[in-house]
């Protein structure tokens, strides 16, 4: 059965490039990004892990822990990390899971037989501090991820988790947001003291409440 939004993220124990981990313990009270790669020593994956490492401060300020996965071994991961650090001018410090038996890949539905029977696609999961899956993105092996979009989505998820708002198309941190339909228009001033604009009765915009 496929993992879906709102499901509890499966816990697991795994060997990684930084030692054995328990996934829930690794995340603790943080948000998490778990993402898979078709294989070590592949060009697009090399750039992706390098980009992730370069965004370490951006993930940390959002209280997000990242962890990568492929079906290759820990020893392969360690050699590959040396290449990533050299070619991308970074230092990879986050764990890379060695899912050689594919148990984690199968639990998270990361292997799509029509794409490859034995390698993971570019799956990405954002998981909240309650270990609930909040976002799933799947890319084909040939297409690298847009990490600015991933950060943008994390900003949206964290904002909407704690405020009665949604984020409109192409929203970025600091821009106006949508008041949820469940909030009556007459109740908006008390809940959103920065004011609001009623574009339509069902479309009410307000400044980002936590800015």
Give counts: helices (H), strands (E), the chain: 7, 11
Query: Which two three-digit tokens encode residue 111?
Result: 């292997």
Question: What is the enclosing helix (H) or strand (E) of 147?
Answer: helix 147-162
* Token pair 């050699």: residue: 79
Compute how many other C-beta atoms are within 10 angstroms of the C-beta atom of residue 14: 20
- CB contact at 8 A, 70 and 37: yes
Q: Residue 86 class from Cβ within 10 Å (0-12 exposed, 13-18 middle, 19+ buried)?
A: exposed
Q: How far, rounded to the nearest angstrom, does the alpha carbon of residue 113 sit from its chain's CA centroid? A: 23
Q: Which residue is catalytic, options 45, 68, 150, 178?
A: 45
Residue 45 annotated to the active site: yes
Active site residues: 45
């Amino acid at each position: 059965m496929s993992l879906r939004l709102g499901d509890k993220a499966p816990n697991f124990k795994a060997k990684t490039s930084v030692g054995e981990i328990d996934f829930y313990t690794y995340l603790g009270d943080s948000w998490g990004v778990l993402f898979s790669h078709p294989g070590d020593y592949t060009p697009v994956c090399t750039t992706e892990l390098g980009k992730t490492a370069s965004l370490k401060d951006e993930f940390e300020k959002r209280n997000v822990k990242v962890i990568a996965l492929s079906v290759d071994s820990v020893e392969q991961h360690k050699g590959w990390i040396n290449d990533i650090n050299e070619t991308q001018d970074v230092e990879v410090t986050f764990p890379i899971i060695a899912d050689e038996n594919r148990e984690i890949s199968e639990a998270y539905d990361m292997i799509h037989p029509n794409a490859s029977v034995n390698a993971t696609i570019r799956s990405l999961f954002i998981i909240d501090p309650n270990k609930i899956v909040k976002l799933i993105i799947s890319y084909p092996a040939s297409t690298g991820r847009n990490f600015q979009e991933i950060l943008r989505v994390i900003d949206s998820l964290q904002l909407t988790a704690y405020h009665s708002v949604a984020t409109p198309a192409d929203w970025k941190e600091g821009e106006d947001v949508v008041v949820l339909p469940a909030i009556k228009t007459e109740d908006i001033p008390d809940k959103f003291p920065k004011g609001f604009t009623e574009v339509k009765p069902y479309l009410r915009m307000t400044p980002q409440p936590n800015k």
